[in-house]
Structure 1
Amino acid sequence: MVYRRLVLVALLTVLMCTAAFTYTFWFLGRPTDARAVARNSFIYDAQGNVLYELHGEINRVPVELEQIPLPVRQAFIAIEDERFYQHPGVDIKAIFRALVGNITARRIAQGGSTITQQVIKTYYLSPERTFSRKLKEIFLALSFERTHSKDEILEMYLNRIYLGEGAYGVQAAARSYFNKDVGQLTLAQGALLAGLTRAPSLYDPYVNPDLALQRRNTVLSKMLEQGLIDREQYNQALAEPLNLQRPEKNQQSQKYAFYIDQVISEAIARLKDMGGDDLVFNGGLQIKTAFEPALQEAAEEAFARAGFADNLMQGALVLVDNRTGAIKAVIGGRQHEARLGFNRATSLRRQPGSTFKPLAVYGPAFEMGYGPGSLIKDIPQRYGDGYAPRNADGSYYGDIPITVAVQWSRNAAAVWLLNEIGVERGMEFARRLGIDLVPEDAHLPLALGGLTRGVSPLQMAGAYAAFANGGLYCEPHAIEQIIDAQGNILYQAPVPRRVMQQSTAEKMTDVLQNAVRAGTGRRAYVPGVLVAGKTGTTELPKTAVFRGLSGNKDAWFVGYTDRFTCAVWVGYDEKDMDRSHYLRFYGGGLPASIFHDLIFRIYKPEEPITRDSEPPSAQPSGGNGQLLPPEGNPAAAGDLPVPGEQDAGGDAQELEENSVNNGSTPVDGGMAPGNVQPESSAPEVTTPVTGDQAGSPAGVPAPSRPQPPAGTTGGDKWPVP
């Protein structure tokens, strides 16, 4: 009878175990693979160097077992699971030892878990301490050992275990405590990390160095007892001080913060359908970028040297590669305030003023067959909707070639030409170049940058790069490729596409080079470098705040060389603008000077920036210390009257009456001859000789400015150059 009862109990036990085992697998499934856990992503520069390391709430950098020194592995085994390589996934002796301890304590105080069980628990099960969870853990561990090798399990464990200071896994912990890779750890350092597994907060060496040292020595004693190290190794490790070293903040990452922000934002946008920010921060991605430190540093130096008038004045800059659209430098403001904060280079939306003329007027006109010498009318005219654009100097040159209209930024001529070719044609061409337009933009002020939503420096740089690239447009991008943790390519940078005829791009380059060589963009001139570009300025909004003031809101310069395109914006944030904080210069002033400085640094790195390499004409200081560049009349230094002493007119004049409600009016136009300040306001600066001015004082030749026909407002013919 007793025998039968024993057999029955045994059978019932087997059935219960089988049922539990079946339940565990069929209803809970198998443990997740180690690759599914969160792991850090890395951003690389163009040379393949690590630029920045990304992680979310979990800081984890998985490594292969072979990268972890044997003594470090042995330290964890000695203190956590000394029979790891002998048991089948569950250590019966450890379980009975824990059972006795729990009965004595009358609560579940010990787990008796092996490393395999800990892998099951951390990868698969919830952390609560219950008998049912423990049963699941045991059965899964037994099965897991049949499908995974001991080394695979140990690798999973060492990459998952939490070791304090926000570090998950031995690689992250090695950086957190010793500022080195796990492969460089000594025996003593490995023992310290192993000792943290019991209570990371309690044994944190930064907080409790004495307790951490005691715990480390306990681990070393265990290793000696188990024959994993000899007495000499033990004594040497015992004598080694903690030698803690917190990881240094990456100064380069701080310096390149705006660029890194752009990379992160771009990666999240590109992968939004695959997981977005969670994948970017926790997916173990390799994010390969076009970043070149030397170019970013040149941009930073140019900005630092710019001499902004006050601490509130802001600026932004984007430098892109003409051929590929790759972003090479980003400056999103005077200071970087927060990770993924507001980036004026990419998120700012402001009216572009006259820098928009090539995109909405002259580009589409060249596509239709117009050329630099084609005559257009610079005349006063009121159009059907009542819109009557003015030139900033109030004069009109009559019939002039396009090259002169661009050279002196003649507003009336640009609007006249847009009216001739059609607003829709201008909008379509601008859209091809990556400009987002809305139906409300379909009006003649489009010629002068009268946009409802505005544009960013990034958009303007991308658009102008198409002219530099022979008519091929490539969406500006910082990221070249994104590879996931399994080696799959998730994203590849876009390739250029043709958006205009090559002849259109060549014509545009011709007229824009002339604007820099002898027009409103003269301060962007760089000796020995062919520079093409356009200035742009928008007037103060016509509101009560600025009543009676004559000044500007936005100043732009967008230009390019044979290799790079750069867009520069200078202005104030909307919240900071008041009667004391507005621009007293134009796009041909500080923005063009920043462009000049950057391009000079890129093309002439071995030559110091000297007086001869400065932009033509010194920049006289205004009443509030801001610059007053002679954009409209580069033939003489300091020829622009101080704002408030003249009627600036305006490219779009009373834009708010023409469905443009953002309050900015473009005013980037040629100034009337004779509007010259006293010579004392403009220190003489010479520049290298160019063109046909040999024998004259060194410097860019003073261009021959057009004289408006006497006694007439238009109709007179202008000789084709």
Structure 2
Amino acid sequence: MKRIRSFGRRHPKKLIFLVVFLIAYYFCLPKKLFKSPTATVVESKQGALLGAMIADDGQWRFAEVDSVPYKFRTCILQFEDAYFYKHPGFNPAAIVKAVGANINAGRTVRGGSTITQQVIRLARSGKTRSYFEKGIELILATRLELSRSKDDILKLYASHAPFGGNVVGIEVAAWRYFGLRPHQLSWAESATLAVLPNAPSLIYPGKNQEKLLSKRNRLLKKLFKEKLIDRTTYDLALLEGLPQKPYQLPKAAPHLVQYLAKENKGKRIKSTVDVNLQATINAIVQKHHQNLKQNQVHNAAVLVLDVHTRKVLSYVGNTPTSKEHQKDVDMVQANRSTGSIIKPLLYSAMLDAGELLPDMLVADIPTQIAGYSPENFNENYGGAVEAKKALARSLNIPAVRLLKEYGLEKFRDQLDVFQLGGINKSADHYGLTLILGGAESNLWDLCKTYANLASTLNHFNTTSSEYFKNEFTDLILKTNQTVDFGELSTEKTVFDAGSIYLTFEAMREVNRPEGDESWQFFDSSKEIAWKTGTSFGNKDAWAIGVTADHVVGIWFGNADGEGRPNVTGVTSAAPLLFDVFDVLPQSKWFQKPLDEFVDIEVCTQSGYLTTDICPKKTISIPNKQNYVSECKYHQMVYLDRAKQFRVNSSCAQLASAVSESWFVLPPLMQFYYRSTHPTYKSLPPFRNDCINTSVSPMEFIYPKNGNRITLTKGFDGKTNELILKLAHTKPETEVYWYLDETFIGQTRNFHEIAILPKKGQHKVMVLDAYGNEMFVSIQIE
């Protein structure tokens, strides 16, 4: 310090100049050398390249490599800068030799730049080549050597060196010219790439092949002479050919790359996707696409999730179809009509609210609610069906009736918790069609919802019967991310574990479909809770399957919204669902959350809360206040001693009559229920000497009271007849029909009759052989 002070007193101007020079030298090198845009690169969790999007400037330039492979490093050092690890950023001897050679030749025939200088030149691209620019590069090179390690400088060079065309960097070059990762390159391939930055135009197919081959072989010979490779390696390397055409970069998950690029543009992302599983599912999708495109169905999507971590294991956004058929549309994120895929959410909601029991009978009859008439997919009716079987069979009419009973607005508000993209309008907008596909959502959010439900159940069984507050969270796509489930609580997050378990149990019953041949593809050895869905017009086919470990979601259809015959969740999406589950590890079934259950007694046949007069069975339900009513389908009847007729106080002493509990459905429910339940016993008729005071055994199927009906015309111009339909508890009974007090006919067994009424108000009346009568008023428009 004394010497510096003394020098400063004697030479103040020189000291100031020296300080200014040192400050300028220190700050002359930018903190970030390269500002060129980079490609978006997505890797699998194993580090394999899944796909990439080209940089904004049209160059294939990946983010900087984290290491330089040994073979390429050896080749580039021997070709460009053998003294790289010894010089301070420039090589005086090489510069002198280059200047002398160029003066003697009268033109530039040799360069003396080190790799460090070339890094600076690449960073200052676009600058005019001159001796002054060379001087600047030399100064910046020495500065770079002081601020970075030799290995870091070599990585900068390998990442930004030109390799011909729009290929920049060793990683892209290895993929484009050899279809390999850099560390997989042979000695010959590494040597080929090492000579390219010096003359990148040589790589073009069909051009200068001899010059490129000569350069490569000279480098290989040098490697052999320096004993960096042995004779056998050298001889074999000479036999290898040169690349003739560029390879395509891997496209194992192009739609995932597209999705991640939205918020990670120009970055290298290590995703959670399993490269082997992705390749397998790509092949499965392609196989199914080959079959379905025969029906002009061109698009599909698959999403596979890990329930425990919320990580995406496979992301297939579309089939390998053509641009004409929208192959670039990411159908994992596209909002489409949900069909029946959200029915399990209503089932869970009603169980959780104490408004539903699994075996409770729900009406499955022709239904009209405020002008809306839902239809089952098979256009049949079961009369009455257990709630769990209604879900398993995806029956539309029971679902609509349950939604109306539960409350459309209440259910619509609950859906906000799941953050289902596309469901963003009020309950009035959707109406009761909400449960049948009147709303739109996407595969991502639907799979996320089912994964959250499965995880809720898993966690409840592993945390001393508690819930995580942040259970309902988004999915994970990056390996450096983890889910924060939040704190534990005894309060449920959305639905209690018991309701979720019973919902999955009902969905598992789909696996045993009671002889329906359309389910023959199912492998009954797998325990999977699954649900299909089909939108109106056969535009969308869904299938989502859930196990304790995985969620698999499938969508099939056309991206342009064109519907096709036979495109259904069962025939199109479900087979693909089970093919995907076949390549996943086997999962155990969910553990029953015992602490959330309580045993109760219900009527065996109706599933409602027990009464004193019905056969009973014990079931487990979520432990909460129950709002389900007592059974209304059992009644005590009195029979004569032969049990052939009913009696009452008008014709018999009830003390001597035989009393018996009888399962009785209303006429319309009974009419359809009996066709699928041959053991159902109708009530015996009253004895002839008894006065019948019971409710009517008849019910109109169509029309309903107050209907406003417009008669249509056929192709021949004639007005079509109106078909009147009636259900009777005893179909063999004769029924007499009247229109406006005028007799129009009688029916037996099949109670249907055709009429052609005039415009205006009419009264349709029926009278059966036992004297029971009923009527409806209709308006013909």
TM value normalised by structure 2? 0.58
Q: Given the alignment of the two structures, is residue 289 of structure 1 paired with residue 273 of structure 2, yes or no?
A: yes
Matched-pair contact (CA < 8 Å) for 2:362–2:386? yes
Q: Which residue of 1 aligns with 2:65?
A: 62
Find the aligned partners of 1:471 and 1:88 in 2 and give their Cα distance. Answer: 63
Q: Deviations over 1:644-695 (max 9, x none)?
A: xxxxxxxxxxxxxxxxxxxxxxxxxx9x979x9xxxxxxxxxxxxxxxxxxx
Q: Given the alignment of the two structures, is residue 121 of structure 1 paired with residue 121 of structure 2, yes or no?
A: yes
Matched-pair contact (CA < 8 Å) for 1:379–1:713? no
Q: Deviations over 1:27-76 (max 9, x none)?
A: x444536899958845124xx36253646333456354683477524422
Corresponding residue SS for 1:566? strand
Q: What letter corresponds to residue 512 of structure 1 in structure 2?
A: M
Equivalent residue for 2:266, pick from 278, 300, 317: 278
Corresponding residue SS for 1:366? helix
Find the aligned partners of 1:36 and 1:94 in 2 and give their Cα distance. Answer: 30
Q: Given the alignment of the two structures, is residue 448 of structure 1 paired with residue 426 of structure 2, yes or no?
A: no
Most deviating of 180-189 and 455-464: 180-189
Corresponding residue SS for 1:207? coil
Q: What letter corresponds to residue 75 of structure 2 in structure 1?
A: V
Most deviating of 312-321 and 227-236: 227-236
Equivalent residue for 2:499, pick from 498, 501, 504: 504
Q: What letter corresponds to residue 455 of structure 1 in structure 2?
A: S
Matched-pair contact (CA < 8 Å) for 2:89–2:116? yes
The structural deviation recorded for 1:200 is: 1.4
Find the aligned partners of 1:154 and 1:392 in 2 and give their Cα distance. Answer: 66
Q: Which residue of 2 aligns with 1:622?
A: none
Q: Which residue of 1 aligns with 2:533?
A: 536
Find the aligned partners of 1:597 and 1:229 in 2 and give their Cα distance. Answer: 54
Find the aligned partners of 1:343 and 1:532 in 2 and give their Cα distance. Answer: 29
The structural deviation recorded for 1:263 is: 3.5
The structural deviation recorded for 1:426 is: 1.0
Unaligned residue ranges in structure 1 (runs of 5+)? 1-10, 482-488, 541-551, 606-669, 677-701
The structural deviation recorded for 1:156 is: 3.7
Corresponding residue SS for 2:136? helix
Distance 1:232 1:137, change over 3 A: same
Find the aligned partners of 1:353 and 1:231 in 2 and give their Cα distance. Answer: 65
Matched-pair contact (CA < 8 Å) for 2:542–2:556? yes
Which structure: greater strand fraction?
2
Q: Deviations over 1:395-421 (max 9, x none)?
A: 766665423433454434323322232
Distance 1:404 1:711, change over 3 A: farther
Distance 1:595 1:150, change over 3 A: closer
Q: Which residue of 1 aligns with 2:388?
A: 403
Aligned 1:319-718 pairs, distance under 5 A? 319-337=304-322, 342-343=328-329, 345-359=331-345, 361-369=346-354, 370-378=356-364, 383=369, 386-391=371-376, 401-436=386-421, 437-442=423-428, 443-452=430-439, 454-469=440-455, 471=457, 477=475, 479-481=477-479, 489=480, 491-492=481-482, 498-518=493-513, 522=519, 525-540=522-537, 552-574=538-560, 577=562, 582-584=564-566, 586-599=568-581, 711-712=698-699
Distance 1:219 1:377, change over 3 A: closer
Aligned 1:100-111 pairs, distance under 5 A? none
Q: What letter corresponds to residue 139 of structure 2 in structure 1?
A: F
Most deviating of 130-139 and 115-124: 130-139
The structural deviation recorded for 1:199 is: 1.8
Distance 1:247 1:217, change over 3 A: closer
Question: Which of the pair has the greater relative contact order for Cα pairs under 8 Å at 6+ separation?
Answer: 1
Corresponding residue SS for 1:582? coil
Distance 1:205 1:234, change over 3 A: farther
Q: What letter corresponds to residue 52 of structure 1 in structure 2?
A: L
Q: Which residue of 2 aligns with 1:626?
A: none
Q: Which residue of 1 aligns with 2:778?
A: none
Q: Given the alignment of the two structures, is residue 72 of structure 1 paired with residue 75 of structure 2, yes or no?
A: yes
Q: What letter corresponds to residue 436 of structure 2 in structure 1?
A: G
State, as a whole percentage, how many aligned pairs show the same letter.
Answer: 22
Matched-pair contact (CA < 8 Å) for 1:434–1:462? no
Distance 1:68 1:30, change over 3 A: farther
Distance 1:182 1:333, change over 3 A: closer
Corresponding residue SS for 1:569? strand
Q: What letter corresponds to residue 267 of structure 2 in structure 1?
A: L
Q: Deviations over 1:518-575 (max 9, x none)?
A: 37885564323334333433333xxxxxxxxxxx433334343454443333433436
TM value normalised by structure 1? 0.63
Find the aligned partners of 1:42 and 1:176 in 2 and give their Cα distance. Answer: 16
Q: Deviations over 1:431-466 (max 9, x none)?
A: 3334232124444324433445x1223333333344
Corresponding residue SS for 1:435? coil
Matched-pair contact (CA < 8 Å) for 2:510–2:530? yes
Distance 1:158 1:511, change over 3 A: closer
Q: What letter corresponds to residue 698 of structure 2 in structure 1?
A: G
Q: What letter corresponds to residue 62 of structure 1 in structure 2?
A: V
Matched-pair contact (CA < 8 Å) for 2:270–2:478? no
Find the aligned partners of 2:307 and 2:574 in 1 and give their Cα distance. Answer: 19
Corresponding residue SS for 1:318? strand
The structural deviation recorded for 1:504 is: 0.9
Matched-pair contact (CA < 8 Å) for 1:397–1:707? no
Distance 1:465 1:110, change over 3 A: same
Aligned 1:154-165 pairs, distance under 5 A? 154-164=154-164
Matched-pair contact (CA < 8 Å) for 2:374–2:396? yes
Q: Which residue of 2 aligns with 1:620?
A: none
The structural deviation recorded for 1:311 is: 3.6
Matched-pair contact (CA < 8 Å) for 1:266–1:478? no
Q: Which residue of 2 aligns with 1:485?
A: none
Matched-pair contact (CA < 8 Å) for 1:187–1:237? no
Find the aligned partners of 1:332 and 1:389 in 2 and give their Cα distance. Answer: 32
Matched-pair contact (CA < 8 Å) for 1:192–1:216? yes
Corresponding residue SS for 2:699? coil
Most deviating of 392-401 and 52-61: 392-401
Structure ID, larger Rg: 2
Find the aligned partners of 1:69 and 1:146 in 2 and give their Cα distance. Answer: 24
The structural deviation recorded for 1:600 is: 5.6
Corresponding residue SS for 1:568? strand
Matched-pair contact (CA < 8 Å) for 1:59–1:172? yes
Matched-pair contact (CA < 8 Å) for 2:403–2:435? no
Q: Given the alignment of the two structures, is residue 267 of structure 1 paired with residue 260 of structure 2, yes or no?
A: yes
Q: Which residue of 2 aligns with 1:136?
A: 136
Find the aligned partners of 1:108 and 1:23 in 2 and give their Cα distance. Answer: 32
The structural deviation recorded for 1:298 is: 7.7
Distance 1:499 1:313, change over 3 A: same
The structural deviation recorded for 1:268 is: 3.2
The structural deviation recorded for 1:346 is: 0.5
Distance 1:523 1:176, change over 3 A: closer
RMSD: 5.3
Corresponding residue SS for 2:343? helix
Q: Deviations over 1:324-373 (max 9, x none)?
A: 444444554443447995356403322122232222x3221111012213
The alignment covers a number of residue pairs equal to 568
Distance 1:122 1:53, change over 3 A: same
